[in-house]
Structure 1
Amino acid sequence: MHRPPATEAEVAEELAAVRPALLPRYTAELPGARAAVLTRLWRALAHEPLPWISGRVRGAHSLALRLADGRTLYGPHADPYATSAYVTGVRLDRERQVDPAVLMTALAVPHGAAFAAELADSAASLALSRADADHSKEWPDRDWEWEQRVTDGHPFHPGCRSRPGLSVADQLAYGPEHRPVVELGTVPVPADGCLVSGGWPEELRDGERLLLPVHPWQAEHVLNRSYDRWRPARPLLSLRTLALPEDGPHVKTALSTRLTSSVRDISAYSVRAAAPLADLAEELVARSAGLLHITRTLGAVCAHSPDLAALLRESPQMCAGPGERVLPVAALATTGLPEAPGWMAAFTRLALTVGLRLLDLGVALEAHGQNLLVILAADGTPVRLVYRDLADIRISPARLRRHGITPPPLTGRLITDDEAALRRKLFGSLVAGALAGTAGSGPALRAALSAAVPDLADTADLRALCEGPLPAKALTLMRLSPQTPGDQWASLPNPLVLEPGPSDQ
């Protein structure tokens, strides 16, 4: 049985048993962690189309949210692009709330109790992550070392560190921010009972059987079976993907527990699509004017169960030249570079040039701070991008054909010619996600976009980006709507357009 979401006290009790030396730092980090989660929750309350919020009134110094039950929630103006924990408390009628889980419970909305438990788990896990952070000021040399520096998870999701399936011991053993080495195992399965896409290395074959890499947590808690030890590996930002030593492949494993928003497994659809997507990636890279690498998928296998599947992918480190560093965009905030004069504009220009070019060709990337990596020159200048994990892009056959590209032989959720859906995918992940998370605030994002946009090719997609509201996944609405499948969306104020006036209902 999976561990349910934990409270701060439960995490403290577990921590005292498995790593008592970390307990004082964990306790010290709790107020900041609560504020970080509360800030993300307040952003959602202020901007997402939550059905139980009947009106929003912007005053000169604060924001009031009118609830459908007649109560009013008061707090600061909500910058949808801020990453600092600037919300330390809000007021529900006369009562001040400083704990996001307590606030969600008090709101008493449908599915709010389960979400409140996730928020408590998120704040406690975030405090644990920060307590064990690497505060070294030296820049790492390896890509996986950069991934270990990111303590806070998703910059805008209130469940940024929610790991309800993992105990404290599990988090310390498998969370990248705790810098562990994980012993991956293999499970033998009959080859004729597997779906295979691309090649599968001889190292992972045993006669008529394939050896599937398996995460030790998955083997113990989901598969409930023994496994043979295989290779040591370093967990990356996604936790279920791990880097093998000496720039070996990244291994994407099934990890069937809910992390942030989703249960992490590898579907047969993703395995089947891996090889056609790898072929499409080569075509896209060839048309990127040398500004983009897409890590190659080396092979994927599913034993006809999303709980027993694996994917091997080229390491992004292979894309860096001498003296260059490659790091996920989520780690940029740890470098200090976004505050350097002109740096954020240069990075924004590079990211939008690549993202809009691929969108014009017919592919909308899910270019958030985990999937998108940047290659830095020795002086920190952003020179190229790396994209990994094609499992959730969107592909327009009509746009591809317009550019003389044969669409991949795929159907299903990746395929759409709907322009709104294509733009939501890219703009929501790249601009409202990676760029906003790196800039750290609405004014900083506005300055970067204003400097970069004049240098970009004038296309209908660029005009849509500059003129309309900015789409972003309504992450809290999605967690409070378990009966509604798929993504739901919010419309955020466009940083390039003037903010609404004092009264906005």
Structure 2
Amino acid sequence: MHRLPLPEAEAALGDELSTVRPDLSAAYAAGIPGTRAAVLTRLWRALAHEPLPWIARRERGREGLTLHLADGRRLHGPHADPYATSAYVTELRLDERAYDRPDRLVTALAGPHASGFATELGHSVASLALSRAQPGPSGGEPAASWEWEQRVLDGHPYHPNCRSRPGFSVAEQLAYGPEHRPVVELGLVPVDDCLVRGEWPKWLRDEDRVLIPVHPWQAAHVLDRGHQEGFSAHPLMSLRTLALPDGPHVKTALSARLTSSVRDISVYSIETSATVSAFAEEIAARTDGLLHVTRTLGAVSAHSPALAAVLREAPDLYARAGERVVPVAALAATGLPRSPGWTARFARLALTVGLRLLDLGVALEAHGQNLLVVLSAEGEPLRLVYRDLADIRVSPLRLARHGIAAPRMSGRIVTDDATTLRRKLFGSLVAGALGATAGSAAALREDLGSAVDDLPRTADLAALLEEPLPTKALTLMRLEPGTPGDSWACLPNPFTDRAS
């Protein structure tokens, strides 16, 4: 094994933790090997399947997978299961040296922008160990959907930057990270000149001025204006969105890079919020009650992505007596008991809804954070709830085929390109939410095989069954930070088991 000193991020976080929360230090240190493997497994998925230009070819053999680099070196590891969620990669061998630390491996690979990405991977390993060091919640099953979210420790199931939070101190991670189960005190910034869409409530107004909820991290690190005392809320998986006790959810601007993106709120998304929400509610009504969309109640912006907020309904409003609403990301992470065939029934429900809306002309970004499932008292999947409409795609041409008027809007949401629409849905729902819920290629193949029998035979379903499965090339996007928009990879199709 190629041994190097403790990586800077791990050591720095450990030193700070010994001052802030010394009671967590032992659990943090003990968790480092496991979180290195978790991040290395995610990284290996990317190296095995994403179109990275410095990988010349991939050779699959009986003993694993070998990547032939453009400079002549070889990187060897186990067969890469693109849908696996367990940490099965503990080391990768670059020529004659073995690496168990993802940041050191990326540094050795020395590709474009490797240094910055390696730093992010180090943060991801360290922050993930911090997440796992926190003692688990006491008590029984959560009562509210936000409590389920706070039990998701590992973040994105496939992104190597699953817990990367550069710019957050240990104290700030403990104070704001949902997995640490804090209560966050939001501030309020009064704004005179403000873009408002929907109904902004009176309790968030000060006479003629709008009061914009701000995250305390944003107030401390980004905003150059004062704020007044606000209200308490529970952070959700996205960190910037928080649940008010027995009330709506508030999405705040957070100008920090978490996993891939800077979490501010574009002026475009505020401008279109009311239109998109009303349209999505209308479309959801065409699913025979299988889908609910959390309505956007109001949205405001101080004409800046760094100071904006969105109020939307809580998903729990769509649960009846005895039912509960659980984010899909929490299904695997929390070990929720499942009856035989449960994942296949859930896959059938999700595909029925997703493909129906896609045929109508709406592609949801239905990953495990945006998509929630309503469970019966016995734990059976009944209906779906979708939240956060900022990144859906809408096809006026498909809508017109069904006699549906397109919403009056333009911009990135609107497209008639079939590839773009399918990538949006298949990449988030199948390669993301369903893949992570299944936990392996074999399990996903079994779940989907029994789920598609009763689905209408559309061109979209044919593409899902026959073509390589699209997924966002998350690592490629971090290694090409100057390239705008999303980059994509093709995963082996669970039905055909072939790669592109």
Query: Structure 2 length normalisation: TM-score?
Result: 0.97
Paired residues for 1:265-276 under 5 Å: 265-276=264-275
How far did residue 224 of structure 1 move?
3.3
Aligned counterparts of 1:66 and 1:136: Cα–Cα separation in 2:
49
Letter in 2 for 1:254: A
Note closer, same or farther for the CA distance 1:87–1:340 as it changes in structure 2 (3 Å cut).
farther
**Contact 2:123 2:166 survives alignment (8 Å):** yes
How far did residue 135 of structure 1 move?
5.5
What does residue 231 of structure 1 align with? 231
What does residue 106 of structure 2 align with? 104
- Partner deviation per Cα, 1:449-483 (whole Å, 9 max, x = no partner): 00101011111111110000000000000000011
Q: Which shows bigger deviation, 163-172 or 135-144?
A: 135-144
**Contact 1:338 1:344 survives alignment (8 Å):** no
Instruction: Give 3-state SS (helix, strand or coil) of 1:223's partner.
Output: coil
What does residue 11 of structure 1 align with? 13
Stretches of 4+ aligned residues off by more than 3 angstroms: 334-340
How far did residue 157 of structure 1 move?
0.3
What does residue 21 of structure 1 align with? 23
Identity %: 68
What does residue 240 of structure 2 align with? 240
**Contact 1:143 1:317 survives alignment (8 Å):** yes
Instruction: Give 3-state SS (helix, strand or coil) of 1:426's partner.
Output: helix
Letter in 2 for 1:66: H
Does residue 483 (structure 1) correspond to residue 485 (structure 2)? The answer is no
Instruction: Give 3-state SS (helix, strand or coil) of 1:156's partner.
Output: coil
Aligned counterparts of 2:161 and 2:46: Cα–Cα separation in 1:
12
Aligned counterparts of 1:209 and 1:158: Cα–Cα separation in 2:
42
Note closer, same or farther for the CA distance 1:233–1:135 as it changes in structure 2 (3 Å cut).
closer
How far did residue 41 of structure 1 move?
0.3
What does residue 194 of structure 1 align with? 194
**Contact 2:152 2:334 survives alignment (8 Å):** no
How far did residue 336 of structure 1 move?
3.3
Letter in 1 for 2:200: W
Note closer, same or farther for the CA distance 1:465–1:92 as it changes in structure 2 (3 Å cut).
same
Does residue 465 (structure 1) correspond to residue 464 (structure 2)? The answer is yes
**Contact 1:338 1:439 survives alignment (8 Å):** no
**Contact 1:72 1:93 survives alignment (8 Å):** yes
**Contact 2:392 2:413 survives alignment (8 Å):** yes
How far did residue 409 of structure 1 move?
1.2
**Contact 1:139 1:335 survives alignment (8 Å):** no
Paired residues for 1:338-357 under 5 Å: 340-357=339-356
How far did residue 408 of structure 1 move?
1.0
Note closer, same or farther for the CA distance 1:185–1:141 as it changes in structure 2 (3 Å cut).
same
Note closer, same or farther for the CA distance 1:358–1:385 as it changes in structure 2 (3 Å cut).
same
**Contact 1:133 1:149 survives alignment (8 Å):** no
- Partner deviation per Cα, 1:143-166 (whole Å, 9 max, x = no partner): 110000000000000000000021
Paired residues for 1:203-218 under 5 Å: 203-218=203-218
What does residue 4 of structure 2 align with? none
Instruction: Give 3-state SS (helix, strand or coil) of 2:452's partner.
Output: helix
**Contact 1:268 1:306 survives alignment (8 Å):** yes
Note closer, same or farther for the CA distance 1:354–1:204 as it changes in structure 2 (3 Å cut).
same
**Contact 1:345 1:448 survives alignment (8 Å):** yes
Letter in 2 for 1:110: P
Aligned counterparts of 1:256 and 1:335: Cα–Cα separation in 2:
29
Letter in 2 for 1:290: G
Letter in 2 for 1:318: L
Runs of 5+ unmatched residues, structure 2 = 1-6
CA root-mean-square deviation: 1.3
What does residue 387 of structure 1 align with? 386
How far did residue 225 of structure 1 move?
3.1
Query: Structure 1 length normalisation: TM-score?
Result: 0.96
What does residue 398 of structure 2 align with? 399
- Partner deviation per Cα, 1:324-369 (whole Å, 9 max, x = no partner): 1101100001343576410000000000000001101100000000
Does residue 89 (structure 1) correspond to residue 91 (structure 2)? The answer is yes
What does residue 169 of structure 1 align with? 171
Aligned counterparts of 2:178 and 2:278: Cα–Cα separation in 1:
31
**Contact 2:164 2:259 survives alignment (8 Å):** yes
What does residue 432 of structure 1 align with? 431
**Contact 1:338 1:438 survives alignment (8 Å):** no
Aligned counterparts of 2:475 and 2:445: Cα–Cα separation in 1:
25
Aligned residues: 494
What does residue 277 of structure 1 align with? 276
**Contact 2:16 2:170 survives alignment (8 Å):** yes
Letter in 2 for 1:50: L
Aligned counterparts of 1:94 and 1:443: Cα–Cα separation in 2:
32
Aligned counterparts of 1:81 and 1:470: Cα–Cα separation in 2:
11
Aligned counterparts of 2:65 and 2:170: Cα–Cα separation in 1:
37
Letter in 1 for 2:92: V
How far did residue 137 of structure 1 move?
7.6
What does residue 262 of structure 2 align with? 263
Does residue 126 (structure 1) correspond to residue 128 (structure 2)? The answer is yes
**Contact 1:369 1:434 survives alignment (8 Å):** yes
Letter in 2 for 1:367: A
Instruction: Give 3-state SS (helix, strand or coil) of 1:197's partner.
Output: strand
Note closer, same or farther for the CA distance 1:275–1:291 as it changes in structure 2 (3 Å cut).
same
Aligned counterparts of 1:460 and 1:21: Cα–Cα separation in 2:
56
Does residue 305 (structure 1) correspond to residue 307 (structure 2)? The answer is no
Note closer, same or farther for the CA distance 1:339–1:444 as it changes in structure 2 (3 Å cut).
farther
Aligned counterparts of 2:337 and 2:181: Cα–Cα separation in 1:
25
